Structure 1
């Protein structure tokens, strides 16, 4: 796949339902947890938009500008991923067949890429915010503290949940390319924002203030993305190794679904032999 980034693959899609099952939680409980996370994220986002419209001197301008920030966009992405993942897990728990299994292969591959963004981008947001943007003084009001902790702290907690709890495989290395492409697209959005609205979402992207350091910041974040991808990949691999190889926790499957004990994904993908009486 690393040499063919535009191919969606031809092997059997997720034969043991790794995207919808957990080594620790039942499919029903996993679906509930993902739905609860999605609900919290969307409630936070809507509350922030409404609060800014009510309390900002320029009314809803700040709310409109939210969609120019990588933080906000990745938080929306977290919400939509957990909503989709909860739906797929719920349908799997209910019938033994996930809604995702019925999707065309390109959409299945995009769901896998979506998962990769969810376990990588939140950590970049958290690191950049608290390491570069945070002023060092705690927020004077309860709203400021809660909204920033939710969007710049809990986001990584939700990403960690998806790394540690489901049975997902480590993301394919080819996804590194698409993560960098998405970051480049956001960089273009930041400069479109400056051209259309007159401000840079982040001061380190402003050539007038940072000069040549802008390139250093851009390449530094891109390199950081690759490092975080590697750490996320290693964490997923380690979770899978400890829970499945060492502890023998093969997974909690839906009724009439899943795989037999000790049966590998490759074995699950093989067509079953039939016997004619």
Structure 2
């Protein structure tokens, strides 16, 4: 990995990185926030610093949430690192929407492994986020026998909009192996198979076979994933979100969990007056940070 820039912020540093991805066959950017505990000589840790992964929404880069969500304050408060991946492969060689729209292609990888050409050449975002990136970060930061950061075992995941879908999908698909300790989401696309954003992306990346769609759709996955322990999913969404009724439809997830082991353990908090922006996200980041900190063993 190449360090592009180091930014002092709050009590730690935001490290902007670039690397050649095996999954996407492109250069990928990722931002990592190292909290004050990483640098402190006064706070020795017996265990590695855990990680929270934030998956961003349509059109975003790793910089959006790094600059606007204010996760760094919470990371310092509880002692976790933050990982902000990109939302798609990029570059002139990477196919995008032939019509040039913003909700498919560059900046809109939907965190799936594409099976349809020409997208299958580069849009292997599921493998990149959940398999390659944790291993690559581990190799970069934990060198010379000193392992201070945990990118693979004590990890939580969250995200916004398309990234909220990616967080829910990745959490549920990896649930049996406990890939993530906890999951939350901000205004997620909960049932992409049934809404325009998701249908466009799934058809473009996965083709017409609905079984391929259901393999990523949270509303399908959660019916077949048996909850263990006291695991919960936390979701916030604004009642003034302009995408609420057409693309997000949180009620579909609550309907899907009925008569499953998740019933009563998926909390959807609809908050009055809030929209789809980072003003909304940053307002409720503290609650999500506390939720994950408890599951990561920091509280």
Determine which structure has more spread, i.e. the larger CA radius of gyration. 1
Higher-helix-fraction structure: 1
Alignment TM-score, normalising by the size of structure 2: 0.28
Alignment TM-score, normalising by the size of structure 1: 0.29
